[in-house]
């Protein structure tokens, strides 16, 4: 797991401040937009926020509140939308997402949404962790013992990518194997099913539909049900916008139809 040691170190630059954090609080950070703020600009938007989002969407039974928080945080990081991030990182903790899992989500999305987006998420999340008195001993180590690797499946993936793109960008192909699939995806503090949910959510949120078939199939192989995948897409319509969700709909449909059973 040495390939990610520098990544984890850079994503926890602020960790030493956590032990000296001030008051604990479960309230959103001060720069979050409140319902009063929304009402002062758009009473209609405040009605949708309270009625449709809080009163309906988050209570739908197809996806647990914990999973909805994972989807939402992934979408916000993927879209670099830091205004809503403090409230939703806090809500994720309240909904049962562990600090170590949030740490892994930020790390994972450095690769799937870009380094700058991950660093923006670090700047927000470190403040929430400080408020909750979450110290580094509650976070995953830089180089944990990896999960077992399915050698046959990984060999097929690596061979296919090398054959198609090895002559185009050999460095990228090598990093994809060594850093992503033989390191990042084997980190044990975010379950493979949840890691896949984060990835699919980020792809939908950023409009990267070409990558969805592989990762949605992988998510369902990792235990995400069809109902959960469909509900995640519905949730993302609100947090990533209807066009991104509708662009992903035909891809989800095709994956669902081609899967056995």
pLDDT of res. 1 = 57
Q: Cα 186 vs. chain centroid, distance in angstroms? A: 16
Q: How many CA atoms lie within 13 A of 156 on its CB side?
A: 3
Closest by CA position to 139, among listed 123, 124, 156, 126: 126
pLDDT of res. 14 = 36
pTM: 0.89
Residues 6 or more apart whose Cβ sits within 8 Å of residue 24: 131, 132, 133
Q: Cα 222 vs. chain centroid, distance in angstroms? A: 16
261 residues of the chain, pLDDT tens digit each: 555 554 444 444 433 333 333 333 344 445 678 999 999 999 999 999 999 999 999 999 999 999 999 999 999 999 999 999 999 999 999 999 999 999 999 999 999 999 999 999 999 999 999 999 999 999 999 999 999 999 999 999 999 999 999 999 999 999 999 999 999 999 999 999 999 999 999 999 999 999 999 999 999 999 999 999 999 999 999 999 999 999 999 999 999 999 987
8 A C-beta contact, residue 124 and residue 91: no
8 A C-beta contact, residue 204 and residue 233: yes
Q: What is the DSSP letter of 213?
A: H
| Domains located in the chain, CATH noted | 2-146+183-258 (1.20.1290.10)
| Segment holding 72, helix H or strand E | helix 65-78
pLDDT of res. 31 = 63
Strand spans (E) along 208-258: none
The Cα-based distances of 154 to 60, 63, 116, 143 in angstroms read 36, 29, 29, 21
pLDDT of res. 33 = 86
Q: Dihedral angle at the C-alpha atoms of 55, 56, 59, 61, nearest 10 degrees?
A: 160
């Amino acid at each position: 797991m040495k390939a990610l040691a520098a990544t984890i170190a850079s994503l926890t630059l602020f960790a030493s401040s956590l032990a000296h954090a001030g008051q604990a609080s479960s309230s959103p950070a001060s720069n979050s937009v409140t319902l009063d703020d929304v009402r002062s600009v758009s009473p209609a938007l405040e009605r949708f926020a309270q009625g449709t989002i809080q009163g309906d969407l988050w209570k739908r039974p197809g996806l647990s509140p914990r999973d909805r928080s994972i989807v939402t945080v992934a979408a916000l990081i993927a879209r670099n939308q830091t205004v809503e991030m403090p409230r939703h990182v806090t809500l994720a903790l309240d909904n049962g997402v562990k600090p170590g899992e949030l740490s892994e989500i930020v790390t994972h999305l450095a690769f799937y949404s870009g380094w700058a987006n991950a660093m923006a998420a670090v700047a927000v999340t470190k403040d929430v962790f400080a408020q909750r008195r979450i110290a580094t001993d509650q976070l995953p180590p830089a180089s944990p013992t990896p999960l077992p690797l399915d050698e046959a499946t990984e060999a097929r993936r690596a061979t296919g990518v090398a054959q198609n793109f090895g002559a185009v960008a050999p460095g990228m192909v090598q990093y994809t194997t060594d850093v992503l699939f033989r390191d990042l995806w084997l980190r044990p503090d975010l379950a493979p099913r949840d890691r896949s949910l984060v990835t699919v959510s980020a792809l939908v949120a950023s409009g990267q539909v070409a990558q969805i078939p592989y990762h949605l199939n992988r998510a369902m192989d990792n235990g995400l049900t069809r109902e959960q995948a469909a509900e995640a897409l519905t949730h993302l319509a609100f947090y990533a916008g209807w066009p991104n969700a509708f662009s992903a709909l035909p891809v989800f449909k095709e994956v669902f139809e081609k899967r056995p059973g």
